[in-house]
């Protein structure tokens, strides 16, 4: 049985809020102009479906109909070949492919869904870095929201 109150957003998380408070940068997880794309071994050419740019990837991610902001992550070369897809895929900004673990994914998701935390992110498609900032909101700040 949990010792935390039943309305604790982290009740089902392995990590608590202390693990994600502050600012953390996840290096090289976003789609960039340098994201690897497949090359046809017979022609030496990149398939048309893999030719794209950061602006298109960003627009794709922003265009996803979701209550949670989306980012453009790198798609593996294997996935691009198997599905004839673009070299990016959209996912929630706290997705485990960006944060590196399911535990961080769940903790960021809990904080994002909770009124007790302010969660912000910066997707730098030039470097491929994703920066997530989590701050606890004090009682008076919550009342203003």
Averaged confidence pLDDT in the chain: 88
Compute and round to an integer the Cα radius of gyration of the chain: 18
pLDDT digits (tens, 9 = 90+) for 103-122: 999 999 999 999 999 999 99
| Closest listed residue to residue 29, CA positions, set 100, 134, 78 | 100
> Which of 122, 145, 139 lies closest to 24, judged by CA?
122
Which parts of the chain register pLDDT below 70? 1-6, 139-145
pTM (predicted TM-score): 0.83
Gap between the Cα atoms of 9 and 65, Å rounded = 24
Residue-wise pLDDT for 48-59, tens only, equals 888 889 999 999
Identify the CA nearest to 61 among candidates 96, 100, 31.
31
């Amino acid at each position: 049985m949990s010792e935390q109150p039943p309305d604790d957003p982290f009740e089902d998380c392995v990590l608590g809020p202390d693990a994600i408070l502050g600012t953390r940068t996840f290096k090289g997880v976003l789609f960039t102009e340098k994201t690897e794309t497949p090359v046809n071994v017979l022609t030496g050419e990149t398939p048309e479906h893999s030719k794209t740019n950061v602006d298109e990837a960003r627009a794709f991610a922003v265009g996803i109909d979701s209550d949670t902001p989306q980012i453009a992550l790198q798609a593996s070369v294997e996935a691009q070949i198997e599905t004839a897809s673009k070299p990016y895929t959209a996912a929630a900004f706290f997705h485990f492919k960006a944060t590196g673990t399911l535990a961080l994914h769940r903790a960021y998701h809990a904080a994002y869904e909770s009124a007790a935390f302010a969660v912000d992110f910066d997707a730098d498609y030039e470097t491929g870095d994703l920066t997530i900032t989590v701050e606890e909101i004090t009682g008076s700040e919550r009342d203003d929201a």
